[in-house]
Amino acid sequence: MLAKEDLSKAFEDILESVIEETGLGTSSGVQLNRHQQRTVDRLHKFVNSSEYKRSSGSSASTSETISFCDDFIADWEASGLNSSPVQQLINLLNRPHIRGLLWSTEDVSAKRFAPELPAVPFEVDEDEGIAVKIVRIVRRDEPLGATIKCDHGGRVYVARIISGGVADRSGCIQEGDRVLEVNGESVLDKKPDEIVQLLNKCDGGCVTFKLIPVEVWHNHSSKAHNNNEKSHIHLRALFDYDGTNDARHPCPEAALNFRRGDILELLVCNDEYWWQARRLGNGALAHSREESKGVGLIPSELLQQKSARPEDRRKNTSQKLVEKDMDDLFYESVCKLKSSSSSSNSRPIVLIGPPGVGRNELKRRLLMMFPERFSTTVPHTSRSARNGENDGIDYYFTTRKNIEKMIENDEMLEFGEFRGNLYGTAVSAVRMAKLKGTPLLTPHPLALRQLRTSEFMPFIIFVQPPTFHDFKETREAFRSRTARTQSSASSTSQTINSMGRAFTDSEIRQIIENASNIDRNYGHLFDSRITNTNLDDTMSDLIKLIHNLETKSTWVPLNWATRCVDG
Ligand SMILES: Nc1ncnc2c1ncn2[C@@H]1O[C@H](COP(=O)(O)OP(=O)(O)OP(=O)(O)O)[C@@H](O)[C@H]1O
């Protein structure tokens, strides 16, 4: 224990040397004034306090040190003395970062790494005669990450804990805990929005709950269940979802919004109606961990099925759109297909889009640039071969009867009649094309029903038109550029395609409208999208996309995969 007299003496010595240094007096002894005596008193108490001693002399409570500095500064200023070293010290002590440093040094030396919370006692509740727990959560600006539900008797329960949220991280609140009080106020018979108000009225980011813990066995079994469910369930969203506008949502702030084609990782799905999930990105190449931070509640398949209006259902034709009938589904189970598999090289690349958008131009250019790499289908026709045409190279020449039979057997991807002859692309032609390279296909979207199968595993790219203005401008520029180069080459075999087609305004509008119809009806099947504005840019986007398909894992329907890897 340090004697007060020793401390006074030390203080006097310091004052003396300051007076000497400022030349205001002699070193023949100093009498402490009232202020200075009070400071010595405080210092004495502080140095002898148990907290100071507990952590080897370095961990004064935070407020004590700062107030000690403040008192020193006040005393010095009151003394009316001048000393440039002391003034420098005062300047330093007043700097925010030095103060911050003092706070943190003390916190660290006192091992205060987190806000000090009261212990969580289990106590006997006088009213109920059962054990309760008091939980104080510091949430600052973050949402609590929990939802509540009320039963018919006005009792309130924790309905869900959002994975990774504040409540989850605290480890002190469990789903099923009964809430008795929030910040000291009973919640019995309170309406959910009144409870939300109570929660928002928290003091300095702290919320205190009085809870009756859910039965331990129940807790264990549901945790185990959750962990099982957690193991790598991934879904592709087949619809757009905005939870903030969903009147069914139990807690819109905890909603996870998503778009069609987003890949969702399911974290908790033991609730019949609301699942916890996070977004991994959009499309078959989604892989971003960056996007996967926020966990939120999404409606389950069952809830969507129950509340779907007829217009939410995509099935507007009598035909199934895909192999597995997913037209009434809202999510599709997916897994990751390894990039290195040789299968990714022969997965057909299917360019879907409205006629006129440029699918065949892109295909033609890819075939020209990489003739060894890509292949295309040879169509069937019922007309007879012309001079120079070879069977199996220009067309598969066959009879009308044969093509009709193939149509009947669902063996044609698409077909049509022109000048009394049948033309079309057979499913078998895709198999043949696969033998020669990666098939590049530009079919009508209805053909996806036969193509989107585990046999072909196509990569489907939606080629969308740009805005009206950009469409018009790029097509006109392309036409005048090709006209210039072709006239200088004085070519005699100019085709409309190589020249670039002229589009009227109404044709452009029609293309844009067709694109949005295709998107509405088939958008949930697209693996990726490109906008065909400038042809060179579109080509480089397409080549990049195909490179990614070859080198990265892609999300594919679960039922396709024999070589799926974990997400
Ligand atoms: N980005 C572009 N800029 C300028 N012209 C383009 C662009 N893309 C395509 N074109 C031209 O637009 C016309 C239509 O393209 P393309 O034939 O490839 O369309 P499509 O989607 O295959 O439709 P269709 O089935 O009617 O042929 C062609 O003349 C093509 O050269």
Q: Residue 41: what pLDDT?
A: 81
Which of the four CATH numbers 3.40.50.1100, 3.30.420.10, 3.40.50.300, 2.60.40.1120 does domain 343-373+438-551 have?
3.40.50.300
Q: Whose CA is nearest to atom 11 of ligand 1?
A: 500
Q: Is 360 in the pocket of ligand 1 (CB under 6 A)?
A: yes
364 CA: nearest ligand 1 atom: 18
Q: Of 61-65, 102-106, 240-244, 375-379, which range is least confident? A: 61-65
Rounded Cα gap, residues 532 and 25, in angstroms:
88
Q: How far is the CA of 443 from the centre of ligand 1 (A)?
A: 14
pLDDT tens across 453-509, in order? Answer: 999 999 999 999 999 999 999 999 999 888 777 666 555 555 555 678 899 999 999
In the structure, what pLDDT confidence band is assigned to residue 342 with cuts at 50, 70 and 90?
low
498 CA: nearest ligand 1 atom: 31
Specify the higher pLDDT residue, 351 or 176: 351
pLDDT tens across 528-542, in order? Answer: 999 999 999 999 999
Q: Residue 372: what pLDDT?
A: 93
Q: Residue 316: what pLDDT?
A: 46
Please give the DSSP secondary-structure letter assigned to residue 518. Answer: H
- Please tell me the number of Cα atoms within 13 Å of 551 on its side-chain side: 6
Specify the higher pLDDT residue, 94 or 357: 357
In the structure, what pLDDT confidence band is assigned to residue 285 with cuts at 50, 70 and 90?
very high
The complex's ipTM works out to 0.97
In angstroms and rounded to an integer, the radius of gyration of the C-alpha atoms of the chain is 37
Q: Of 34-48, 133-147, 324-338, 452-466, which range is least confident? A: 34-48
416-422, Cβ contacts within 8 angstroms, sequence gap of 24 or more: 421/381, 421/382, 421/383, 422/380, 422/381, 422/382
Q: Give Cβ neighbours of residue 151 (< 8 Å, ≥ 6 apart).
A: 157
Is residue 336 within 8 Å of residue 553, measured between CB atoms? yes
In the structure, what pLDDT confidence band is assigned to residue 563 with cuts at 50, 70 and 90?
low
Q: Whose CA is nearest to atom 2 of ligand 1?
A: 535
Specify the higher pLDDT residue, 499 or 279: 279
Is residue 177 within 8 Å of residue 161, measured between CB atoms? no
- Above 90 in pLDDT, residue 182? no
Q: Is 443 in the pocket of ligand 1 (CB under 6 A)?
A: no
354 CA: nearest ligand 1 atom: 21
Q: Of 289-303, 418-432, 459-473, 505-519, which range is least confident? A: 289-303
Q: Whose CA is nearest to atom 30 of ligand 1?
A: 500
Amino acid at 385: A
- Above 50 in pLDDT, residue 201? yes
361 CA: nearest ligand 1 atom: 18
Q: Of 46-50, 346-350, 392-396, which range is least confident? A: 46-50
Q: HEC states along 83-111?
A: CHHHHHHHHHHHCHHHHHHHHHHHHHHCC
Query: Is the entire prediction scored with pTM above 0.95?
Result: no
In the structure, what pLDDT confidence band is assigned to residue 55 with cuts at 50, 70 and 90?
very low
Rounded Cα gap, residues 567 and 565, in angstroms:
6
Q: Is 358 in the pocket of ligand 1 (CB under 6 A)?
A: yes
Closest to 13 in 3D by CA, of 34, 41, 36, 47: 36
The CATH number of 376-436 is 3.30.63.10
Q: How far is the CA of 365 from the centre of ligand 1 (A)?
A: 11
496 CA: nearest ligand 1 atom: 29
Rounded Cα gap, residues 462 and 519, in angstroms:
8
In the structure, what pLDDT confidence band is assigned to residue 556 with cuts at 50, 70 and 90?
very high
Q: Residue 233: what pLDDT?
A: 87
Query: Range(s) for CATH 3.30.63.10 in the chain?
Result: 376-436
Find the Cα–Cα–Cα–Cα dihedral 385, 390, 395, 401, rounded to 10°.
50
Q: Is 210 in the pocket of ligand 1 (CB under 6 A)?
A: no
Query: Range(s) for CATH 2.30.30.40 in the chain?
Result: 230-336
pLDDT tens across 207-240, in order? Answer: 888 888 775 434 433 444 454 444 568 999 999 9
Q: Is 22 in the pocket of ligand 1 (CB under 6 A)?
A: no
Q: Whose CA is nearest to atom 14 of ligand 1?
A: 356
Q: Is 353 in the pocket of ligand 1 (CB under 6 A)?
A: yes
Mutate to test the pocket of ligand 1, among 350, 359, 361 (most ligand atoms within 8 A of CB): 361
Percent of the chain with pLDDT over 90: 39
Q: Is 532 in the pocket of ligand 1 (CB under 6 A)?
A: yes
How large is the average pLDDT for residues 410-422?
A: 95
Q: Residue 199: what pLDDT?
A: 80
Specify the higher pLDDT residue, 197 or 17: 197
Q: Residue 311: what pLDDT?
A: 63
Rounded Cα gap, residues 173 and 196, in angstroms:
17
- Above 60 in pLDDT, residue 298? yes
Strand duo 396-397 + 380-381: pairing: parallel
pLDDT tens across 304-322, in order? Answer: 998 877 666 655 444 445 5
Q: Is 392 in the pocket of ligand 1 (CB under 6 A)?
A: no
532 CA: nearest ligand 1 atom: 1
By CB neighbour count within 10 A (0-12 exposed, 13-18 middle, 19+ buried), where does 109 fall?
Answer: middle
- Above 80 in pLDDT, residue 381? yes
Superfamily of domain 230-336: SH3 Domains (2.30.30.40)
Mutate to test the pocket of ligand 1, among 360, 366, 367, 533 (most ligand atoms within 8 A of CB): 360
Q: How far is the CA of 439 from the centre of ligand 1 (A)?
A: 19
How large is the average pLDDT for residues 40-66?
A: 61
Q: Of 152-156, 388-392, 447-451, which range is least confident? A: 152-156
500 CA: nearest ligand 1 atom: 29
Rounded Cα gap, residues 28 and 41, in angstroms:
23
Place of tokens 């799905």: 269
Q: Is 148 in the pocket of ligand 1 (CB under 6 A)?
A: no
The CATH number of 122-221 is 2.30.42.10
Q: Residue 100: what pLDDT?
A: 83
478 CA: nearest ligand 1 atom: 4
475 CA: nearest ligand 1 atom: 4
Query: Could you tell me the sign of the dihedral formed by the alpha carbons of 453, 455, 457, 462, in that order?
Result: negative
Rounded Cα gap, residues 505 and 468, in angstroms:
8
Q: Is 474 in the pocket of ligand 1 (CB under 6 A)?
A: yes
Q: Residue 5: what pLDDT?
A: 78
Please give the DSSP secondary-structure letter assigned to residue 370. Answer: -
Closest to 71 in 3D by CA, of 101, 105, 38, 33: 38
Q: How far is the CA of 527 from the centre of ligand 1 (A)?
A: 22
Is residue 42 within 8 Å of residue 69, measured between CB atoms? no
- Give the chain's mean pLDDT: 81
- Above 70 in pLDDT, residue 91? yes
Q: Is 478 in the pocket of ligand 1 (CB under 6 A)?
A: yes
12-26, 108-122, 170-184, 504-518: which is most confident: 504-518
353 CA: nearest ligand 1 atom: 21
Q: Residue 323: what pLDDT?
A: 44
Is residue 316 within 8 Å of residue 446, measured between CB atoms? no
